[in-house]
Amino acid sequence: MSRKRYKHIIWDWNGTLLDDVDIAIDAMNNLLRRRGLPLLNRELYKDIFTFPVKDYYARLGFDFSSEPYEKLADEFTAEIYSKKYCYKLFPEVEEILEKVHSLGISQSILSASAQDRLIEMIDTFGISRYFKAINGLNNHYAQSKIEAGKQCLSILEIKVDEVILIGDTTHDFETAEALGCDCLLIANGHQSYARLKPLKAGLVNSLSEAVELLL
């Protein structure tokens, strides 16, 4: 990743600003437990989680011939948005968003989460004011966010060489590649450092490190 002054940051949501890895593991373990399948731990999860998320379900041992992926994804979505889980941002998020804003750098969200849930959650945390755009998908099947990213850039009318995407997965890197912008990955979310290291992107261990590198 080149060192330069960016005018816009595209933030990933899950695992980058939202600290939800343990929730994703607990929720999926409930689905696995109901079917007598082997359970996840944190290390295994970070090693096998991938996009499209359907491939991740296959790696977990779900049989799509008996249960379609869409049915399983619906069940998982109902699970993670049930009242049993308490969502939180990474501790430094609001301070970082405010610092970036104060420097005149615009910001947006690009997520594989469903748009309505995404907006509702960001509103709940009271951080909507920091973003020029909030972009999710029109479903909760988490296939790809590349097209949503292209639409975001076209609306914002920002030059891609002035944009950096900050995320936590190989798909964030693939998305940045497709958009033509730089990418910075944080190995503190849904995929392990070892999986992110081979990619031609900046790589740090925490959100605070990411911002120090940028600013």
pLDDT band at 3 (very low <50, low <70, confident <90, very high): low
| Torsion angles phi and psi, residue 59, rounded to 5 | -65, -25
Same domain, 29 and 76: yes
At residue 127, the 3 state secondary structure works out as coil
pLDDT, tens only, 29-39 = 999 999 999 99
Same domain, 128 and 185: yes
Same domain, 177 and 152: yes
- Which of 33, 55, 80 terminates a domain? The answer is 80
* Better-predicted residue by pLDDT, 185 or 4: 185
- Which of 51, 80, 109 terminates a domain? The answer is 80
- Which of 80, 109, 130 terminates a domain? The answer is 80
Structural domain contains residue 1: no
- Helix 170-179 and helix 146-156: axis angle, to 10°? 40
Q: Say how far apart CA 91 and CA 208 lie, in whole Å.
A: 10
Could you list the residue range(s) of the whole structural domain that residue 28 is in?
21-80
Q: Say how far apart CA 196 and CA 183 lie, in whole Å.
A: 12
Specify the number of domains making up the chain: 2
pLDDT, tens only, 127-178 = 999 999 999 988 654 567 999 899 888 888 889 999 999 999 999 999 999 9
Residues 6+ apart with CB under 8 A from 121: 18, 87, 113
Same domain, 120 and 36: no
Strand order across the beta sheet in which 133-137 lies: 133-137, 106-114, 8-11, 163-167, 182-186, 202-204
Same domain, 163 and 208: yes
Where residue 14 sits, what CATH number does that domain have? 3.40.50.1000
